[in-house]
Amino acid sequence: MANESDQGIYVATLLSDDWMPVTQDPRYVDSCARVNRSNVKIGKARSFTVRERNYEKDFGSGNVVFAVVAVTSEFRAAETAVLRALKKHRKSSPKGHPMDWLENISVDQAVVIAKKALIEAGIPHEFVYQARK
């Protein structure tokens, strides 16, 4: 059974100016979207610990800033509400589909919108994010 204090909504950003593929899967690496420090990833995690490790594996441990936004066992509904609220900032994939990666928004702005979305959707959560200085 999953640890409920280790699941919910997170944000991740990169420290690199270089454009990097969003996956290291050799089948898709040449055709997938690319992101850099100008993008913000917001999403759900069944385990924050595992999800952070996945980002470090894909982008390099010294290149990822990962932060928990809100702890909730209703992480699927939470992600839906958050991404709906951030719709205008969602980056488009090369095939034109909206991604969980955002553009033209700062981490702190995305977190404020996410917090409001969780409250408005009535999703029980513990807001734990602390802005970076």
Query: Model confidence at 131, in pLDDT bands (50, 70, 90)?
Result: low
Distance CA 80, CA 48 (A): 18
Element (H, E) at 102: strand 98-102
Each residue of 47-86: pLDDT tens digit?
999 999 999 999 998 999 999 999 999 999 999 999 999 9
pTM: 0.91
pLDDT band at 133 (very low <50, low <70, confident <90, very high): very low
Using CA atoms, how far apart are residues 109 and 106, in angstroms rounded to an integer?
5
Tokens of 22: 């969003």
Pairwise CA distance, residues 26 & 115, whole Å: 36
Q: Specify the 3-state DSSP secondary structure of 92.
A: strand
Alpha helices in the chain (DSSP H): 48-59, 75-85, 107-120
